[in-house]
Structure 1
Amino acid sequence: MHASKYHINTLKEAPAEAEIKSHQLMTRAGMIRKAAGGIYTYMPMGLKVLRKIEAIVRDEMNKAQAIELLMPVVQPAELWVESGRWEQYGAELLRIKDRHNRDFVLQPTSEEVITDIARNEIHSWRQLPLNFYHIQTKFRDERRPRFGLMRGREFTMKDAYSFDRDEASAQASYDTMFDAYMRIFARLGLEFRAVAADTGSIGGSRSHEFQVIADTGEDLIVYNPASPYAANLELAEAPCLLAERGSATEPLTKTATPDAPKCEIVAEQLKRPLTDTVKSIVLATGFEGKPEETRIWLLLLRGDHELNEVKTGKLAGFENGYRFATEDEILATFGCVPGYLGPINPVKPITVIADRTVAHMSNFICGANELGFHYTGANWGRDLPEPQVCDLRNVVSGDPDPQGGHLALQRGIEVGHVFFLGDKYSKALGATFLEKDGKPAMLQMGCYGIGISRIAAAAIEQNHDDRGIIWPLAIAPFDVVICPMGLQKSETVRNASELLYQQLRAEGIDVILDDRDTRPGIMFADWELIGVPLRITIGDRGLNENIVEIQARRDESAAKVPVEQALDFILERIKTL
């Protein structure tokens, strides 16, 4: 490809709404152009990146014996009603009507359609296992689309669905896809972690996220630097930080704590560590405004810990959802405004659930259910009944790992997710097959997604500098750019550049020759912004000395290589990128 025949349109400034580097740099490099909020045109350079990502994903899916098909973007509402997600999915599901007033959706995912295919196409155990996948446009009506391709409304995704006879076979299919994903992200050239995760709105039981490591990631990953363990913060088990409960050595004392509605202020006033305080969080199940259907719960955390809402949603009694209690409900239950609440002598009976660490605390500080007062010297058994004990909190950096070592936190961007679904969708849509004994059985399903367009953005978040993008070689729009100095004026430069260009093409290298009539500074700035991994500079001065300059995008300086060795040098250097 010659640059004069290609569309290159870089910008000096990013749009004002571009908050993160990938959005800024993809726009400035001419890879995307905004059509509407969260909806983008992939320009030629950006589309090349997506196609390279797709090619790696498709190759590994095919090697894992998944079978490609293509499901529609527009799906009939009847299938979503059957699965129960027509109402459950929420406002992100874009619902539309056709001219006959029939309901459809713009697909955010394809569980319903693929299960419908399975119930009509899979009849016998002899057809199993099967794994179908497609790479297709998705649409989720985000309330606040932002961050360019990171959180858009329209995006490109690979989703796959496995079908098996029984759970053991389905778990084997899951493992096959997990291994394929590990190979995919390694081939993409990204630093990533596979982390145990919550199944979320998709449902199912077993789940892993694939997170690209980046400081701008929205997700927090808990990991052990000394072991393979990694989990999403939402799912990571938080250990008890106290080996055993200490003795009750302090009397229970109601202590004045004026203007101290937070544990941090209480600890400061009482000159005690924050770790001696207990935080009260009041939740409710049932409908607001219907006290006869409402149940109040008090969750207790150590003062320096934060509630994990995903774990909370899985507690017994919270299966149908929960909410934070209203101030009226809190006043009726505790006789006090928030900030001074505690588990000792509430006005009405409540269910108390303590985090594991709180359950082992002694002589702790908690609210006294009276404005301006807290109890010191509170102890389980003596001053208040033993609580229910559950893992309620987020892991924090430095927590011990029960398997040895300590846990750490880092940020990541979710770019892939694998789920074991079981019969969640096959049961809802009646997807059965005939077993060996001739009896019908439910298909066991797995679901496997990769955000193709999101990978492009995540790769930039992980790989950039103040000059622009630094693409991993596998997904760069071009592998090599040849930058001739004075091409229009020097036949020697023109011939040398064209010869190397043809040699690289013959070797299968994706190379672009920048034959535009532009100044060297502009040319270099463009390609540094675009992020091509290897740049070759050819000019009269270098040719007079029989050298060309070869510089990797990450290198501080160029290597001066004899002209006759340039091709071999480039081919070897590419292997190291």
Structure 2
Amino acid sequence: MLRAFFMPEIQEDNIMKLEKLVGDRFKERPSDCQIDSHAIMVRGGYIKYMANGIFSSYAPTKRITKKIEQIIREEMDKIDGQEVQFPVVMPASLWQESGRYESIGSELLRFTDRNRMPMVLGMTHEEAAVHLVREYGKSYTKYPFMIYQIQTKFRDEARPRGGLIRVREFTMKDAYSFHTSQEDLEQYYDKCHKAYENIFRRAGVPEVISVKSDSGMMGGSISHEFMLLTPVGEDTIASCHECGFNANMEAADSIIENTRDEVSAPMELVHTPNIHTIEEICDFLHTPKEKSCKAVVYQRNADDSYVVVFTRGDIDVNETKLRNFLGCEIHPAVITEECGLNAGYIGPVGLPENMTVLFDTSLQNTNNLSCGANKEEYHYTGLDIDRDCANVEYHDFAKILDGGICPNCHKHSISISRGIEVGNIFQLGTKYTKTMGMTYLDSNGEEKTPIMGCYGIGVGRLAASVCEAHHDDYGPIWPMPIAPWQVHICAVRSDDADVKACADKLYDTLQNAGAEVIYDDRQVSAGVMFSDADLLGVPLRVVVSPRNLKDNCCEISARDKSFSYKVPVEETADKVQELIKELMAKFND
């Protein structure tokens, strides 16, 4: 037993040897991996599938995420965060206090324990945060403060995808701040925003951008997402190259400018047999989509009541905006014979009265439009909504257009791109503290409700996103601050005594100097050795080979192929340490 207890150095040494590294690496791309980072992390021995959206992590991934977590801790501590730990399992009663037990759908995993008590698996921890501090925060003198954790969470995601990009079980840093005024929250929110910029820069992805976002189920009025722009991203981002405006499409205001025709023609009923879509009616009438009025129909989840949204023919409905306006969940409508709607021929004139009718701002200042006539095989032309529809109010329900008007600088400069959300911050206000009865006494002895902010980063998702942003055809290119190891020594022809002796000595020297080294002294071909090195993606590679030793040199190269040096054997260790410092400094400026 004593011998086992005193073996940590030997165990650590074994982990640093590639032949002892648990996990296999493969040449072939797995057929079920749709995006590059997922394929690389499976091929490279980083993760293993266990169930839909649930993965085990091998040592390289664990080393990467530990470094990300340390960066996060350092930046949270700098802004006076205190690390705590919440339970993964919580009683349903806690979520009933906030009202989310009923309002959140099947993403929240509910179950009953052996005592028949309703429980939940935490997908987020706002309720737990309030529960932890509501007795502590009884006096204004306790404020402000911030608590954070790095914890496993479970969200029963309907469509997991992309390896660690979108999973059901995940590790996340979530932080919660408490304040006595909106001004104080806003000041802290800005500090946290800067801390997030530092985190992403230090993690090797300074290209992450902050975008205005929709608060969704989290609640609150102001929120931002941090996006890594990539074509495989799930989120759609609207950006302005003129003023730097960035917003998630769900939260981006859509501004449409219309010019009315000088004369409004009278409405005319036109026979349009076998024509059901905007494209078909515009082709039939030889008019552009901009001269049509489109109907999109939804139903409320709660009672299946119908909601008809009218937009300009070339404009799509932003369902998030519509949900926020209605204050409820919706789904695409199932149109039946009994509902009073005529599929393919729905228009704003003559609609049944037993449904909600909404008009998008894209229809403001328009006339001479085509639209459905609410009659089988008929459309109207000459629609002027302000003339032909009574008491119309316009609201923004639209997706912003590529090339559209920027909500900030009002130029036609919006471009649409894709991104992966790697972090988010919210100004929650009193959504949770009020419903859960958290109060404090202010300096006048009056009872007040504290204001909250919350701040999240998905650790595994960030690791996978870095891989997605920084890889080539052969494997990942890990940034030095989060790489699983800093140096990869390849002893080519380790059966050669000189090669083995030189590589062993370099390995020992670098380890004693504090460098993180993975050492490959397997008796395999150079091709296999270099292929595995590419899949591990370590920033610096040192090749010790008979050919190099003939010149009394070792070859030091960058995984990103930015440099390659032949360095005298006796200077190699010093040069490696110098390069480690240089590559670390790139992300700490």
Say whether the fold is shared (TM-score over 0.5): yes
Letter in 2 for 1:327: I
Q: Aligned in 2, Cα 1:267/1:85: closer, same or farther, shift over 3 Å?
A: same
Q: Aligned in 2, Cα 1:29/1:324: closer, same or farther, shift over 3 Å?
A: closer
Letter in 2 for 1:157: M
Alignment of 1:25-424 (within 5 A): 25-190=40-205, 191-242=207-258, 244-284=259-299, 288=303, 294=305, 296-315=306-325, 318-328=326-336, 332-334=339-341, 337-348=342-353, 352-385=357-390, 387-402=392-407, 403-405=409-411, 406-424=413-431
1:529 and 2:535 equivalent? yes
CA distance, structure 1, for counterparts of residue 302 and residue 44 of structure 2:
51
CA distance, structure 1, for counterparts of residue 236 and residue 77 of structure 2:
32
Q: Aligned in 2, Cα 1:564/1:17: closer, same or farther, shift over 3 Å?
A: same
Q: Aligned in 2, Cα 1:29/1:371: closer, same or farther, shift over 3 Å?
A: same
Q: Which residue of 2 aligns with 1:544?
A: 550
1:6 and 2:6 equivalent? no
Letter in 1 for 2:541: R
CA distance, structure 2, for counterparts of residue 303 and residue 518 of structure 1:
63
SS of match in other structure, 1:327: coil
CA positional deviation for 1:522: 0.5
Alignment of 1:483-498 (within 5 A): 483-491=490-498, 493-498=499-504
Does the 8 Å CA contact 2:123/2:154 hold for their aligned counterparts?
yes
CA positional deviation for 1:135: 0.5
CA distance, structure 2, for counterparts of residue 476 and residue 411 of structure 1:
26
Does the 8 Å CA contact 2:65/2:463 hold for their aligned counterparts?
yes
CA distance, structure 1, for counterparts of residue 23 and residue 496 of structure 2:
22
CA distance, structure 1, for counterparts of residue 213 and residue 45 of structure 2:
35
CA distance, structure 1, for counterparts of residue 321 and residue 81 of structure 2:
34
CA distance, structure 2, for counterparts of residue 346 and residue 119 of structure 1:
51
Q: Which residue of 2 aligns with 1:481?
A: 488
How many residue pairs get aligned? The number is 565
Does the 8 Å CA contact 2:23/2:46 hold for their aligned counterparts?
no
Q: Aligned in 2, Cα 1:486/1:8: closer, same or farther, shift over 3 Å?
A: farther
CA positional deviation for 1:176: 1.6
Which range moves more in the overlay, 64-73 or 359-368? 359-368
CA positional deviation for 1:534: 1.9
CA positional deviation for 1:29: 1.0
Q: Aligned in 2, Cα 1:99/1:352: closer, same or farther, shift over 3 Å?
A: closer
Structure 2: give runs of 5+ residues left out of the alignment. 1-15
- Per-residue Cα deviation, 1:89-120 (whole angstroms, up to 9, x for no partner): 22122223332222222211111111011112
CA positional deviation for 1:528: 0.8
Q: Aligned in 2, Cα 1:533/1:454: closer, same or farther, shift over 3 Å?
A: same
CA positional deviation for 1:573: 4.1
Which range moves more in the overlay, 318-327 or 60-69? 318-327
Which range moves more in the overlay, 125-134 or 7-16? 7-16
CA positional deviation for 1:201: 0.9
SS of match in other structure, 1:149: coil
CA positional deviation for 1:45: 1.3
CA distance, structure 2, for counterparts of residue 196 and residue 132 of structure 1:
24
- Per-residue Cα deviation, 1:441-464 (whole angstroms, up to 9, x for no partner): 212111111101111111122222
Does the 8 Å CA contact 1:282/1:325 hold for their aligned counterparts?
yes
Q: Aligned in 2, Cα 1:286/1:116: closer, same or farther, shift over 3 Å?
A: closer
CA distance, structure 2, for counterparts of residue 79 and residue 27 of structure 1:
38
Which range moves more in the overlay, 378-387 or 545-554? 378-387
CA positional deviation for 1:380: 3.2
SS of match in other structure, 2:251: coil
Does the 8 Å CA contact 2:302/2:329 hold for their aligned counterparts?
no
- Per-residue Cα deviation, 1:521-572 (whole angstroms, up to 9, x for no partner): 1111011122112212121211212332222222277443444554454445
Does the 8 Å CA contact 1:333/1:348 hold for their aligned counterparts?
no
Does the 8 Å CA contact 2:369/2:382 hold for their aligned counterparts?
yes
Q: Aligned in 2, Cα 1:17/1:573: closer, same or farther, shift over 3 Å?
A: same
Q: Aligned in 2, Cα 1:138/1:226: closer, same or farther, shift over 3 Å?
A: same
CA distance, structure 1, for counterparts of residue 226 and residue 339 of structure 2:
46
Which range moves more in the overlay, 16-25 or 123-132? 16-25
SS of match in other structure, 2:87: coil
TM-score, normalisation: structure 2: 0.90
SS of match in other structure, 2:263: coil
Q: Aligned in 2, Cα 1:418/1:549: closer, same or farther, shift over 3 Å?
A: same
Percent of paired sites with the same residue: 38
CA distance, structure 1, for counterparts of residue 537 and residue 257 of structure 2:
47
- 1:438 is aligned, of 418, 426, 445, to 445
- Per-residue Cα deviation, 1:235-285 (whole angstroms, up to 9, x for no partner): 00111232x433235443333333221111222222222222221123455
Q: Which residue of 2 aligns with 1:470?
A: 477
Does the 8 Å CA contact 1:490/1:540 hold for their aligned counterparts?
no
SS of match in other structure, 2:210: strand
CA positional deviation for 1:394: 0.4
Letter in 1 for 2:358: I
Which range moves more in the overlay, 195-204 or 549-558? 549-558
CA positional deviation for 1:503: 4.0
Q: Which residue of 2 aligns with 1:18?
A: 33
SS of match in other structure, 2:481: helix
CA distance, structure 2, for counterparts of residue 36 and residue 427 of structure 1:
38
- Per-residue Cα deviation, 1:34-80 (whole angstroms, up to 9, x for no partner): 22222222111111111111111111111111001111111122211
Does the 8 Å CA contact 1:220/1:411 hold for their aligned counterparts?
yes
Letter in 1 for 2:250: E
CA positional deviation for 1:321: 4.1
Q: Aligned in 2, Cα 1:351/1:465: closer, same or farther, shift over 3 Å?
A: same
Structure 1: give runs of 5+ residues left out of the alignment. none
Q: Which residue of 1 aligns with 2:522?
A: 516
SS of match in other structure, 2:510: helix
CA positional deviation for 1:287: 5.6
- 1:461 is aligned, of 464, 468, 477, to 468
CA distance, structure 1, for counterparts of residue 353 and residue 141 of structure 2:
61
Q: What do you get for the CA RMSD once the two structures are aligned?
A: 2.3
CA distance, structure 1, for counterparts of residue 182 and residue 388 of structure 2:
48
